[in-house]
Chains A and B, each alone.
Chain A
């Protein structure tokens, strides 16, 4: 049986994309690990939360690099972002934290 999604203490202001990301990470990795991983990646990206599909795509590419279940969640979230017209781009190109609408 699949575990129900657990409430996660948000690391950032909420919006539907951010909530989806947090919920999926919590479900796959547990709330604590999910929360800390999300915080670490958002800090690397230099943004407080995900706001656009492009943010979600960039976040997913970071997540994929962690391997295991994090990678599985990352690949799923990346598809979600691409379906919403995000553009896949290398991690190195977005260290400045700029957003793409």
Chain B
């Protein structure tokens, strides 16, 4: 698969074929199975910590799953706002593009509702409160203050990681909570089209843009990743407190530090490193943003080690 030969009509057709209803994915009697982990080991780096018992690791894994779903809800807030603008710019223009972008927007709102429902189910049955980073509006506002090309590059990065996570780590993993797997399967089904639409919209902006505008977009893309990294680190710190609340105990400072570092690395790998090292993303950058591709190795190494 390559993003370089996408077109609006094919995205629209594919979107109609894979579309699903929220009520069928999360029926009213849905329950999460808290006897199972939510996140695959490949993404949950704290599974290797000797200082945690298996029960503690299971709880931390589920806390990670809760925050993982919430973070997608979080970023989709800005994606909805940005995509609405791209759709609006197509009024009286290309009908296929307009329909594809409107569906994209509608699907992102639906995904937000999906993750809200997941959050409700989690909070109902987990047994203790889980801390989540606040102010999605502030984050959306920060991202949208950057150039539209930078915003689209970040959106493409995020759409690609949702696919990579599902295909590489979640799909076919029978040991995970089946509802959690199903949520991310349905999320992935629709995000596959979104990544192609991002590329098509990026191309509209890139063509005719001055070299300085492209370089600014690249610089802002890195700035957004750094800011996102800060948010992820805050979430990792909250996870330690959430785990203590879930287990009804306080960990020694050394253990707290180990958990926080492992969680930070897990979040950085999931949301930052996975995108920067993805072969489809790199293929796209090689063709359209080669100077960003040249920075990917250094950025991936930095985020892969869990530091900004």
Residue ranges of A at the interface with B (Cβ–Cβ < 8 Å): 2, 16-17, 20, 23-24, 27-28, 53, 72-73, 75-77, 79-80, 82-85, 101
Check if B209 sits within 8 Å of A84, measured CB to CB. Answer: yes
Do residues A2 and B85 form an inter-chain contact, with CB atoms below 8 A? no
Would A79 and B147 be within 8 Å (CB), given that A2-B95, A85-B213 are in contact?
Answer: no
Complexed CA–CA distance, A76 and B97 (Å): 14
Q: 0/1 per residue, B182-205, Cβ < 8 Å to A?
A: 000000000000000000000011
Number of contacting residues on B, CB 8 A? 17
List, in ascending order, chain A residues with CB within 8 A of B95's CB. Answer: 2
Q: How many A-B contacts are there with CB distance less than 8 Å? A: 46
Q: Find chain A residues with CB under 8 A from B205 CB.
A: 83-84
Residues of chain A contacted by B210 (CB below 8 angstroms): 101
Q: Which of B91, B92, B148 contacts A83 (CB 8 A)?
A: B148
Contacts of B204 in A (CB 8 A): 83
Indicate whether B93 reaches chain A with its CB closer than 8 angstroms. yes
User: Which of A17, A23, A27, A80 makes the CB contact (< 8 A) with B89?
Assistant: A80
When the two chains form their complex, are residues B148 and A72 in contact, meaning their CB atoms are under 8 A apart? no
| B177 in the interface (beta carbon within 8 A) | no
What 4 A-B pairs have minimum CB-CB distances, sorted nearest first?
Answer: A76-B91, A80-B89, A24-B92, A79-B89
Which residues from 79 to 103 on chain B have a C-beta closer than 8 Å to any C-beta of chain A? 85-86, 88-93, 95
Q: Which residues of B contact A72 (CB under 8 A)?
A: 91-92
